[in-house]
Amino acid sequence: MRSLYLAVAIAIVLGNVESVSAQAYPSRPISMNVPFAAGGPTDTITRIVAQRMSTSLRQSIIVENISGADGTIGVGRVARAAPDGYTLSVGQWSTHVLNGAAYALPYDLLKDFEPVALLATNPLVIVTNNAVPARDLKELIAWVKANQNKMAAGVGSMAHRVSAVYFQNVTGTRFTLVPYRGGAPAMQDLIAGQVQLMFDQAANSLAHVRAGSTRPYAVTASERLESAPNIPTVDEAGLPGFYVSVWTALWAPGATPKAVIAKLNAAVMDALADPVVRRRLTDELGQEIPPPEQQTPQALYTYQKAEIEKWWPMIKAANIRPE
């Protein structure tokens, strides 16, 4: 009986310690890990949201860029970090979905992370260089089928590659995938005519579309972009259901206390409700901000799991591997 009382007392003490710890959180700067180089869309989104979160949390947030191996190095570091809320992972569709099918990861994308919140979504824009004669998406598909042997798409990331293979599967087309070290050089060669086609994030491609350097055919979403209302959706353009989104979200290491997750989630939701943050994400970066009901930890877990179930079979069937 004495040992039972002791066990209960210890449990109460530990529970109180965790409660006090969660109430005091955060008591020192928080590190947000971005698994890509500085200056890209994921990094820019992180810095915009983190700046506003630091106000809510009354603590500094340090953005760390740990790139390499399609983001697996940086994400792996967070998976091994202490579950105290001071080391967080900002990742996206490729790092927290696609990489699980293409790499033999030393961590589990669902079990080793606690979801915090979905930050933004960014559908792709199907674009070609201006030499391609097709005037709309249906004509583009027909033109690709007629020119498969001399047709090439630029792929500067895992997201580019998976999107191109998905397009081939849905349309019954075949063309060469030309690998690049990042989306910027791939886009440069598209504009120069070295490749004809790209499936690129709206955040990257809209500047070139507005400059007249590339020709857009459709947005890979069910609704038009606020930042590009003249570009039709794939449903409107004749390729219904061809939805691809490079979404960005925030995770903590697995077993992070729920009270800490709740504080982080509240700070994210506060940031995404801020008019300045919303304007910068939508107008400057072409991002779509999810509604509040999609910003919860459970909503992120459900979405990530559904994305894994959608994309992993295709990636494995096509034997897509990192270049």
167/161 Cα distance (integer angstroms): 10
Instruction: Pick 111 or 184 by higher pLDDT.
Output: 111
Q: Which CATH number is associated with domain 27-122+246-317? A: 3.40.190.150
What stretch(es) of the chain map to CATH 3.40.190.10? Answer: 124-237
pLDDT in tens, 165-207: 999 999 999 999 999 988 889 999 999 999 999 999 888 888 9
Residues of CATH 3.40.190.150 domain(s) within the chain?
27-122+246-317
CATH class of 124-237: alpha beta
Q: Does the pLDDT value for residue 3 go beyond 60?
A: no
Q: What DSSP element (H or E) covers 309?
A: helix 297-317
Residues 232-291: pLDDT tens digits?
Answer: 999 999 999 999 999 999 999 999 999 999 999 999 999 999 999 999 999 888 899 999
Q: Which pLDDT score, from 0 to 100, does residue 117 have?
A: 98
Instruction: Name the phi and psi angles at 314, rounded to 5.
Output: -65, -45
The answer to whether residue 19 scores a pLDDT higher than 70 is: no
Which H helix or E strand runs over 155?
strand 152-155
Q: How far is CA 34 from CA 43, 99, 123, 139, 250, in A?
A: 6, 15, 20, 39, 10
Q: pLDDT band at 323, cuts 50/70/90?
A: low
Condensed to tens digits (0 to 9), the pLDDT of residues 87-102 reads 999 999 999 999 999 9
